[in-house]
Amino acid sequence: MRILVTVKFTPDLQSQRSFTDGTVTRTADDGSMNELDENAVEAALQLVEAAGEGEVYALTVGGADAVAAVRKALQLGANHAIHVNDDAVAGSDVFGTAAVLAAAIRKVHDENPLDLVITGMAALDGLTSMLPTALAAELDWSQLTLASSLEVGDGNATIVRHLPDAHETVTAPLPAVVSVTDELNKPRYPNFKLIMAARKAEVMQWSLADLGVDAASVGAGASRTTVVDASPRPPRAHQQIVTDTGNGGNALAAFLIEKGLA
Are the CB atoms for 145 and 176 separated by under 8 Å? Answer: no
Strands 176-180 and 116-120: parallel
Select from 51, 63, 124, 190 the one that contacts another protein (CB under 8 A). 124
Nearer to another protein, 81 or 176 (CB): 176
Q: How far is the CB of 20 from another protein (least distance, A)?
A: 12
Spatial neighbors of 245 by CB under 8 A, at least 6 apart, are none
Instruction: Answer for the pair 70, 41: CB distance below 8 angstroms, yes or no.
Output: no
Q: Tell me how far, at minimum, the Cβ of 184 lies from another protein, in Å.
A: 11
Instruction: Please report whether residue 95 would count as binding another protein according to CB under 8 A.
Output: yes
Q: Which of 1, 33, 144, 184 binds another protein (CB under 8 A)?
A: 144
Are the beta carbons of 90 and 219 closer than 8 angstroms? Answer: yes
Total residues binding another protein (CB under 8 A): 79
DSSP bridge pairs for 206: 84
User: Is residue 251 close enough to count as binding another protein by CB under 8 A?
Assistant: yes
3-class SS of residue 137: helix
Name which of 200 and 233 has its Cβ closer to another protein.
Answer: 233
Residues 230-249 touching another protein, rule: CB under 8 A, are 230-233, 236, 238-244, 246-249
Q: Closest distance between another protein and the C-beta of residue 251, in Å? A: 7
**Shortest Cβ distance from residue 194 to another protein (Å)?**
26
**Interaction residues for another protein, span 164-183 (CB under 8 A):** 164-173, 176, 181-183
Nearest to 132 by CA among 3, 45, 5: 5
HSE value, Cβ hemisphere, 13 Å, CA-based, for 130: 9
**Binder of another protein out of 45, 81, 121, 213 (CB under 8 A):** 121
Tell how strand 19-20 and strand 23-24 pair up.
Answer: antiparallel
